[in-house]
């Protein structure tokens, strides 16, 4: 059964409670590693989301939810689909709704304005921000957030999901990459004019708005429109207290701030979505709080980043669809794309109607033009189901020539500094490489010499296949 | 409980030279403000000196050293350093140190 996507975070919580994917914890839990540790373990064991209602050092009015959509069941519920929907259906749903954006509507008031705390009274330590991992550089506000920023020269509004760390009561440091949309806006629009850049960090919006914020989306595109499309109804936005930025009115908490055009401070290290803490610290941005607004009984949200976190499932969908669109726009005969969440957003599987060295090289070139988040692409023939990882591994192991099938592109200034394989020197210069592992048959091989797969559907006559399947079913095998 | 801080270092030898250095310290005092940052001109001692707060050194990937040093805060510094966003923070601290 399909229902409407939840209109806000609380409706989403009610839905995953009903589907059996939310576990409520009433005992007091420590925000300092213990609570995030439970969330972490749940990611690693495909467990539930947690709702904690008693957080050490914080008043009972605060609650906290971990890893809202870190598995496919909760992602399905976020789309209004049955929790047991197949990944393919989630991909198809995203692709269909992405193509029908719905602009947001502006409202005068909203739940996120129930409590307004001005700059002089704002204190980041009043928020139950967890220490996510032992050894992180500090406490991270932005693990599952929606950061709003606006281009200095146009009407382009960006929603992104970026990490922000508390330095003191009013100061945060953050690491939206310099190649991110926010980084681009800051460096090209505000820094040259020595102007502070307003931002708003919204926590606890409806899950598809966060998904839109995390999405790999085109430069100049407004993710609020994308979120409306994904939800199949407009997002309601309300104006910030200290800037003209608009934030989802249903947010649980909004931190308004200004990014300095001329100041830095320590940020990181942080245990990130690739599943490691890689030492990417020392090159960040610095923001000062200008106001905090929140609900009266707010719910903080946390993505205990690492292996199989919420960003893994989010980018699995949004990254794959973005890759497919980009390859299609570059006339690559792509059939399907899958970004397996187990790959920490470093691996993509691309099936093509016609493969070979030229196509594989073109794929890796196209995917690294502006920035390079994916470092490995397995290219398979169209008869391999990209969602069937055993079949993909079989193709890679058997069809990828160990020398001729490896197609590398190297780059500087746009590498993913979170890639654990890179040296500290590569991280500092943002140097790196991506590779296509061509697991297709070379198109120049004649058909009568191309190996034939030894499976029922390839190496048996249609008549035998029919008889085998009939007998299989007759034996009561599914 | 003894007062304690932690700091993240790219150049460990510089911090342990015995000279005044600029560091970002994280206050490890339990409670709501745990991990609050403070930028300071300070002197690090190893082994730790009696009466000084402990200082745990962590690497750029957050790995903590097995034993603590101690730290004497000479002067608290402003909460941020002048530099263009995305500039190397360790270089910004080194510039502050030379002033």
Percent of chain A with pLDDT over 70: 100
Q: What is the pLDDT averaged over residues A365-377?
A: 91
Q: What is the ipTM of this complex?
A: 0.97
Domains of chain A, by residue range, sit at 9-302, 310-439
Respond yes or no on whether the N-terminal peptide bond of residue A387 is cis (omega within 30° of 0). no
What gap in Å lies between CA B56 and CA B71, rounded to an integer?
9
CA distance A457 to A464: 10
Determine whether the interchain pair A428/B88 forms a contact, defined as Cβ–Cβ distance below 8 Å.
yes
Q: In chain A, which residues have their Cβ closer than 8 Å to the Cβ of B61?
A: 135, 269, 277-279
Q: What is the DSSP string of B19-86?
A: S-EEEEEEE--SSTTTTEEEEEEEEEESSPPTTSPEEEEE-TT-PBPSS-EEEEEEEE--SSEES-TT
Is the model's pLDDT at B99 over the cut of 80?
no
Q: What is the arithmetic mean of pLDDT over A255-284?
A: 91
**Residue A1 pLDDT class (50, 70, 90 cuts):** low
User: Could you tell me which residue, A430 or A11, shows the higher pLDDT?
Assistant: A11
Whole-number Cα distances in Å, A207 to A69, A231, A300: 7, 9, 13
CB within 8 Å: A168 and B36:
yes
Distance of CA A286 to the CA centre of its chain: 23
Give SS3 for A437: strand
Condensed to tens digits (0 to 9), the pLDDT of residues A55-70 reads 999 998 999 999 999 9
Put simply, the answer to whether A261 touches B84 (Cβ < 8 Å) is yes
Task: Give per-residue pLDDT as tens, A421-444.
Answer: 999 889 888 899 999 999 999 999
Q: What number is the average pLDDT over the span A188-201?
A: 97
Residue B96 lies in a domain: no
Mutate: best of B23, B80, B81, B96, partner A, most A CBs <10 A: B80
Q: Do A9-302 and A310-439 share a fold?
A: no
Residue B15 lies in a domain: yes
Q: What is the pLDDT of residue B1?
A: 63
**Mutation site, B10, B61, B82, interface A, largest A CB count within 10 A:** B61
Nearest Cα neighbor of A199 from A237, A263, A246 is A246
pLDDT in the model for residue A218: 82
Q: What is the DSSP letter of A237?
A: E
Chain segment B57-94, per-residue pLDDT in tens: 999 999 999 999 999 999 999 999 999 999 999 999 98
Please enumerate in sequence order all residues whose Cβ is within 8 A of that of B86, keeping only pairs 6 or more positions apart, or say none. A178, A183, A187, A264, A283, A284, A285
* Residue A119 tokens, joined: 């700059």
Query: pLDDT tens digits for A209-223?
Result: 999 999 988 888 899
Q: How many domains does chain B have?
A: 1
Confidence of residue A478 (pLDDT cuts 50, 70, 90): confident
Chain A residues 160-199 within an 8 A CB cutoff of chain B: 166-169, 171, 178, 183, 186-187, 191
Average confidence score pLDDT of chain B? 95
Give A39 or A373, the one with higher predicted confidence: A39
Judge whether B98 is closer than 8 Å to chain A, CB to CB. no
Q: How far apart are CA A111 and CA A15, in angstroms?
A: 20
- The per-residue pLDDT for A221 is 86
A9-302 — its CATH code? 2.30.110.10
**Is B99 a domain residue?**
no
A2 pLDDT above the threshold of 70? no
| Mean pLDDT, chain A, whole residue set | 95
Q: Inter-chain contact B24–A139, Cβ cutoff 8 Å?
A: no
Q: What is the span of the domain harbouring residue B18?
A: 4-91
Residue of A nearest to B58 (CA): A135
**pLDDT band at A309; cut points 50, 70, 90:** very high
Query: Using a CB-CB distance cutoff of 8 angstroms, which residues of chain A are in contact with residue B63?
Result: 135
Measured between its terminal Cα atoms, the distance across chain B in Å is 35
Is a pLDDT exceeding 70 seen at residue A382?
A: yes
H or E element that contains A223:
helix A223-231
Residue B75 is assigned to a structural domain of this protein? yes
Residue B22 belongs to some domain of the structure? yes
pLDDT score of A282 more than 80: no
In a domain, B98, yes or no: no
One of 3.40.1670.10, 3.40.228.10, 2.30.30.100, 3.40.50.300 is the CATH number of A310-439, namely: 3.40.1670.10
């Amino acid at each position: 059964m399909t229902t409407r996507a939840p209109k806000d975070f609380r409706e989403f919580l009610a839905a995953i409670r009903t589907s059996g994917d939310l576990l409520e914890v009433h005992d007091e839990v420590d925000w300092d590693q213990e609570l995030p540790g439970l969330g972490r373990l749940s990611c690693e064991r495909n467990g539930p989301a947690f709702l904690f209602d008693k957080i050490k050092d914080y008043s009972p009015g605060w609650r906290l939810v971990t890893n809202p959509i870190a598995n496919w069941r909760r992602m399905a519920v976020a789309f209004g689909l049955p929790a047991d929907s197949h990944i393919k259906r989630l991909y198809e749903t995203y692709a269909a709704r992405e193509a029908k954006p719905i602009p947001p509507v502006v409202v005068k008031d909203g739940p996120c304005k129930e409590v307004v705390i001005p700059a002089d009274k704002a204190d980041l330590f009043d928020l139950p921000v967890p220490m996510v991992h032992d050894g992180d550089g500090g406490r991270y506000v932005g693990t599952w957030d929606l950061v709003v920023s606006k281009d200095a020269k146009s009407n382009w509004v960006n929603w992104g999901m970026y990490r922000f760390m508390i330095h003191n009561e009013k100061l945060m440091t953050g690491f939206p990459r310099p190649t991110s949309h926010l980084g681009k806006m800051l460096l090209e629009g505000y820094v040259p004019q020595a102007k502070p850049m307003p931002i708003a960090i919204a926590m606890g919006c409806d899950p598809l708005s966060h998904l839109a914020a995390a999405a790999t989306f085109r430069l100049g595109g407004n993710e609020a429109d994308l979120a409306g499309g994904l939800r199949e109804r407009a997002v309601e936005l309300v104006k910030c207290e200290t800037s003209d930025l608009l934030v989802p009115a249903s947010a649980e908490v909004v931190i308004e701030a200004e990014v300095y055009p001329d100041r830095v401070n320590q940020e990181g290290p942080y245990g990130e979505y690739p599943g490691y803490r890689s030492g990417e610290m020392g090159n960040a941005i610095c923001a000062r709080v200008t106001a905090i607004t929140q609900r009266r009984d707010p719910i903080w949200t946390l993505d205990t980043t690492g292996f199989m976190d919420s960003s893994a499932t989010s980018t699995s969908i949004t990254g794959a669809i973005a890759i497919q669109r980009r390859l299609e726009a570059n006339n690559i005969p792509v059939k399907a794309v899958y970004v397996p969440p187990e790959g920490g957003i470093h691996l993509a599987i691309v099936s093509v109607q016609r493969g070979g060295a030229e196509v594989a090289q073109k794929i890796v070139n196209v995917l690294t033009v502006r920035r390079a988040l994916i470092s490995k692409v397995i290219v398979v023939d169209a008869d391999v189901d990209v969602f069937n990882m055993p079949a993909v591994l079989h193709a890679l192991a058997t069809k990828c020539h160990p020398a001729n099938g490896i197609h590398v592109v190297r780059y500087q200034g746009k590498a993913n500094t979170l890639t654990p394989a890179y040296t500290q020197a590569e991280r500092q210069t943002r140097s790196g490489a991506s590779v296509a592992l061509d697991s297709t048959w070379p198109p120049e091989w004649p058909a009568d010499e191309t190996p034939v797969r030894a499976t029922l559907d390839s190496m048996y006559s249609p008549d035998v296949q029919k008889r085998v399947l009939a007998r299989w079913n007759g034996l009561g095998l599914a | 409980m003894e007062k304690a801080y932690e700091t993240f270092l790219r150049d460990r030898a510089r911090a342990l030279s015995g000279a005044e250095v600029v560091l970002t310290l994280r206050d490890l005092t339990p409670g709501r403000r745990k991990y609050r940052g403070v930028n300071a001109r300070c002197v690090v001692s190893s082994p730790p000196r009696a009466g000084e707060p402990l200082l745990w050194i962590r690497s750029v990937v957050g790995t903590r050293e097995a034993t603590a040093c101690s730290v004497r805060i000479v002067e608290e510094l402003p909460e941020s350093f002048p530099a263009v966003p995305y500039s190397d923070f360790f270089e910004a601290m080194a510039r502050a140190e030379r002033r």
